[in-house]
Copies of this chain bind each other. A is one copy, B any other.
Amino acid sequence: MKIAFIGLGNMGAHMARNLVQAKQDVSVWNRTASKAEPLRAHNAHVSASVPEAVRDAEVVITMLADDSAVSSLVLEPDGVLPHLKAGAIHISMSTISVALSQQLAVEHHKNGQHLVSAPVFGRPEAASAGKLFVVAAGDAAILDRCAPIFAAIGQRTFLVGHKPEMANVVKLAGNFLISVVIESLGESIALTRKYGIAPQEFVEFLTSTLFAAPVYKTYGGLIAEQRYQPAGFAMRLGLKDVRLVAAAADSAGVPMPLLSVVHDNAVSALGRGMHELDWSSLARLAAENAGLK
């Protein structure tokens, strides 16, 4: 399949490489061109512009930082939309707002193109190993055609609906749940520390029993060790995602009081200078509010 891959950040570079290694015909483009060079060594075509990358593509994949990046690289005159063939597929894998996803669906439809939303769960190591989880939504026949792509980058694909935005909602709901896990670990570790219990032992207990899940292991470990730097995912990015959840909830009329707590605490964390710490440092705020350290 002829694939264009736009966005070679921490995640995208690994995903593009896995596609090349799965024998797909891949053209890549990245705003900072130097990041594309390692892909050239893996036999990807390195394109000089978005239009060049997407012109002959059957599928274009975007993996970008936020709404603003997706909006400008897809919708503007020198972006994906005006240069993609009719009948081609855009797989949007970025974490974006439901509203933008809805807008992309409308615009691609007008151009005779197809939109699939397929955000992923997993950190860069999982991306490198092709072990991401892919959450995809869109027209069933189109999703079928994307299956080999999802197989190349992930360990499992979850099809969650026929409208692309549904995958974005699931991604946002998942990020909400992660943020709540962090905050709840922060509060409970503050509580148990106050009674003299070592965080490592508390986390070991949790993750050996009812909470034996990757998310508790990953964040429980970071919090127990107070290892908030370097940030795997910075607080300001976490807050950005919390806001996307809030926007989706607001549009749909869903009150989410736990989200409000996480939101307010993330804003406080930034107000207290934690911009560049990992978002698991919500737990540091909880500790400080309990008078610890």
Could you list which residues of chain A lie within 8 angstroms of chain B, going by C-beta atoms? 98, 121, 133, 135, 156, 158, 160-161, 163, 165-166, 169-170, 172-174, 176-178, 180, 183-185, 187-188, 190-192, 194-197, 201-202, 204-206, 208-216, 243, 245, 248-250, 252-261, 263-265, 267-268, 270-273, 286, 288-292
Contact = CB atoms under 8 A, between A and B. Distances in A.
B170 A202 contact: yes
Most B Cβ at <10 Å: residue of A166, A183, A190, A267 = A267
A32 to B, nearest CB: 28
A192 B173 contact: yes
Contacts of A185: 177
Given A187-B259, A261-B258, A210 B178 contact: yes
Contact of A160 (B121, B194, B197, B273): B197
Contact of A177 (B184, B243, B254, B260): B184
Contact of A289 (B98, B216, B268, B290): B268
A-B residue pairs, 10 tightest by C-beta: A213-B213, A271-B291, A260-B260, A268-B289, A194-B252, A255-B267, A255-B264, A254-B290, A173-B188, A169-B195
A95 to B, nearest CB: 15
Contacts of A133: 205, 208-210
A11 B148 CA distance: 50
A284 to B, nearest CB: 13
Given A177-B184, A191-B249, 16 more contacts: A160-B205, A163-B195, A163-B196, A169-B197, A170-B192, A173-B202, A176-B191, A177-B188, A180-B258, A187-B254, A187-B259, A191-B254, A257-B264, A267-B289, A270-B291, A272-B291
